[in-house]
């Protein structure tokens, strides 16, 4: 090889080497300087966690918003009833205001709020059941979830408020707590038809308000007759049972049938054992745990199983998959009752005029 050829070959090799180095510098990033940090891209897990926190915060606000509304409405109604009872409007109502009307013997060395220990302490069951059901969230996949949660929370708040009222009656034997003990029983039973109508027809606040006001007004029968309260209570129980049985036939299953049977059995025990409190005291088994005590146990169970039944039927009837079935049933009822025209598949079907 000549010297000229060797010089040109060295030049070509240097040019090629320079080209390779330049190309590599453009394709590969330069090493970063020490002590300098580059921003990292956001992780998908962090975004998912942030979304989960937002959803949890929304559910928290949604949950406690409905609970707050239910508690406020029940508290407002309770305050109105307390004001009416304290005004002397029901001073002529026949009430049991002495220990002689209860079969459980009084314990003299205990304070007044535990004078009849079993009859007093059993009222804590209402508070426990009310707090338990208030803490439960709405069923997933239910239409009108906010309204369904509100209806459930109102019923649970009624149980929560009813226990202290009964305890105050036994602790003081005063007229105002005794009136409230009887009076508040009526709107509690009247809330069952309100819930049943919500499941069958949707939420109608005007109907719920009218039914509750009529229930509160029915206590005026106690002013007209000595057994007026018993008559009003019998009407409320009959209406609640009729609405519950009708709801079971329409939307129930085997599980809701068991809940309904347990609620009805508890209701019968509540009514019968309370009426037989003094006669049952002749038997040794009912001297300390009297009929009044067991009637309150049945009443607490009645609250619990009624809530089990109504929440289960609400979950079945208000599920999104049952929405077309509810619409078809509503159309059929409107046609049979001669209501407004309904449209099916673009064809207008008019009810009988």
* 48-94 pLDDT tens trace: 445 444 444 444 454 567 888 999 999 999 999 999 999 988 988 88
Name the 3-class secondary structure at 244: helix
Could you tell me if residue 186 is inside a domain?
A: yes
Structurally, how many domains does the chain consist of? 1
Could you tell me if residue 260 is inside a domain?
A: yes
Q: Write out the two tokens for 254.
A: 């085997």
Could you tell me if residue 261 is inside a domain?
A: yes
pLDDT tens, position by position, 222-279: 998 888 999 999 999 999 999 999 999 999 899 999 999 999 999 999 999 999 988 8
Q: Torsions phi, psi of 26, nearest 5?
A: -85, -30
How many residues are present in the chain?
Answer: 353
CATH number at residue 203: 1.20.1070
Could you tell me if residue 316 is inside a domain?
A: yes
Could you tell me if residue 210 is inside a domain?
A: yes
What pLDDT is attached to residue 36?
55
- The CA–CA distances, whole Å, from 230 to 37, 219, 225, 267 equal 81, 10, 10, 15
HSE-CB of 71 using CA atoms within 13 angstroms? 12
Q: Taking the CA atoms of 128, 131, 134 and 140 in sequence, report the sign of the dihedral they define.
A: negative
Which residue ranges of the chain lie beneath pLDDT 70?
A: 1-64, 138-144, 320-353
Could you tell me if residue 12 is inside a domain?
A: no
Q: Write out the two tokens for 153.
A: 């929370």
**Measured distance CA(332)–CA(206) in Å, rounded:** 24
Please name which of 297, 308, 299 lies closest in space to residue 188, comparing C-alpha atoms.
299
Could you tell me if residue 213 is inside a domain?
A: yes
* Lookup result for tokens 């202290």: 164
Task: Write out the residue range of the structural domain in which residue 298 sits.
Answer: 59-87+109-320
Q: Write out the two tokens for 60.
A: 């928290």
pTM, entire model: 0.73
What pLDDT is attached to residue 287?
82
């Amino acid at each position: 090889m000549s010297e000229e050829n060797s010089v040109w070959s060295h030049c070509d090799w240097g040019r090629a080497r320079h080209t390779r180095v330049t190309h590599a510098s453009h394709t590969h990033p330069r090493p970063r300087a020490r002590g300098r940090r580059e921003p990292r891209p956001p992780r998908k897990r962090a975004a998912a966690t942030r979304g989960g926190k937002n959803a949890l915060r929304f559910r928290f606000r949604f949950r406690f918003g409905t609970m707050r509304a239910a508690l406020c409405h029940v508290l407002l109604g309770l305050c109105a009833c307390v004001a009416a009872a304290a005004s002397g409007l029901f001073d002529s109502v026949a009430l049991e205001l002495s220990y002689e009307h209860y079969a459980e013997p009084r314990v003299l060395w205990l304070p007044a709020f535990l004078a009849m220990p079993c009859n007093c302490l059993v009222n804590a069951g209402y508070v426990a059941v009310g707090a338990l059901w208030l803490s439960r969230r709405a069923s997933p996949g239910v239409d009108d979830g906010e309204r369904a949660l509100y209806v459930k929370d109102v019923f649970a708040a009624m149980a929560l408020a009813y226990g202290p009222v009964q305890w105050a009656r036994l602790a003081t034997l005063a007229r105002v707590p005794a009136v409230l003990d009887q009076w508040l029983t009526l709107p509690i039973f009247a809330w069952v038809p309100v819930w049943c109508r919500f499941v069958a027809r949707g939420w109608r606040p005007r109907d719920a308000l009218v039914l509750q006001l009529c229930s509160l007004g029915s206590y005026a029968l106690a002013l007209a007759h000595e057994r007026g309260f018993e008559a009003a209570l019998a009407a409320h129980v009959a209406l609640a049972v009729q609405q519950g049985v009708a709801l079971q036939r329409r939307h129930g299953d085997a599980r809701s049938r068991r809940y309904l049977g347990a609620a009805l059995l508890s209701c019968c025990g509540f009514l019968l054992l309370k009426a037989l409190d003094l006669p049952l005291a002749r038997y040794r088994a009912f001297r300390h745990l009297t009929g009044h005590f067991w009637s309150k146990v049945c009443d607490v169970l009645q609250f619990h199983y009624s809530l089990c039944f109504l929440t289960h039927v609400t979950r079945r009837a208000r599920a999104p998959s049952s929405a077309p079935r509810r619409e078809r049933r509503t159309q059929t009822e409107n046609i049979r009752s001669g209501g407004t025209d309904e449209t099916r598949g673009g064809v207008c079907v008019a009810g009988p005029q």
